[in-house]
Amino acid sequence: MTYIAAAQGLPDILAPGLQVVFCGLNPGVDAAAAGHHFLGRGNRFWPVLHLAGFTPHLVAPQDDASVLDFGLGLTAAVGRPTSRADQVGADEFAQAAAGLQHKLVLMRPQWIAFLGKAAYAAMTGKRQLEWGEQAERFGGARVWILPNPSGLNRGYSKERLVDAYAELQRALG
């Protein structure tokens, strides 16, 4: 059974027992308008996901629901679309924590992968975070923090993103 709930124009793509739920900070304006995750020009999520070994082929944003076939899910920490993720305040992330945890408790994924540190930091109150696996669970799921694949994140080349995402892929065992 697939769980797809509207989140201010961009649906969650979730099902029970997934390996990993990738949690973006919030939807971009174009993605929300089209109803598909990681649609923005320059967003590197789909190529990085494929090159890191999560999907056997490059998935188009319009086929985002097909990630369920690979044991993957998609959600956003905050449902409100913006042009840039830095337009979402820490208070919005903190207010969204209980709703996200509830989804995870219901769906029971093995992992939640936060795409960027901002949402997880605000939701947990942690100030110092490292990339990779976190010691605590969130909504019952193991936690991994990955760099955000947005084209606006110039601190990470596509190659560095692939390396970071592949580390999570290897941890799935």
pTM of the shown model:
0.92
Asked if the structure places residue 22 within a domain, the reply is: yes
Scan for tokens 């649906």, then name that residue: 11
Write the DSSP assignment of 137-170 as a string of letters: EETTEEEEEE----TT-TTS-HHHHHHHHHHHHH
pLDDT attached to residue 47 = 97
- The CB density around residue 155, as the number of other CB atoms within 10 Å, is 8
DSSP 60: P
Q: How far apart are CA 12 and CA 5, in angstroms?
A: 5
Q: List all residues 6 or more positions away from 154 whose beta carbon is below 8 Å from its beta carbon.
A: none
Q: What is the CATH number of the domain that holds 50?
A: 3.40.470.10
pLDDT attached to residue 65 = 96
Asked if the structure places residue 1 within a domain, the reply is: no
How many structural domains is the chain composed of?
1
Asked if the structure places residue 52 within a domain, the reply is: yes
Segment (H or E) for 65: none
pLDDT attached to residue 112 = 98
pLDDT attached to residue 59 = 96
> From the first residue on, what is the mean pLDDT of each consecutive set of 10 residues in the chain (173 residues)?
52 96 88 87 92 97 96 91 76 89 97 95 93 97 95 86 97 89
pLDDT attached to residue 4 = 47
pLDDT attached to residue 8 = 56
State the residue range of the domain holding 155: 6-171
Q: How far apart are CA 73 and CA 121, in angstroms?
A: 21
pLDDT attached to residue 7 = 45
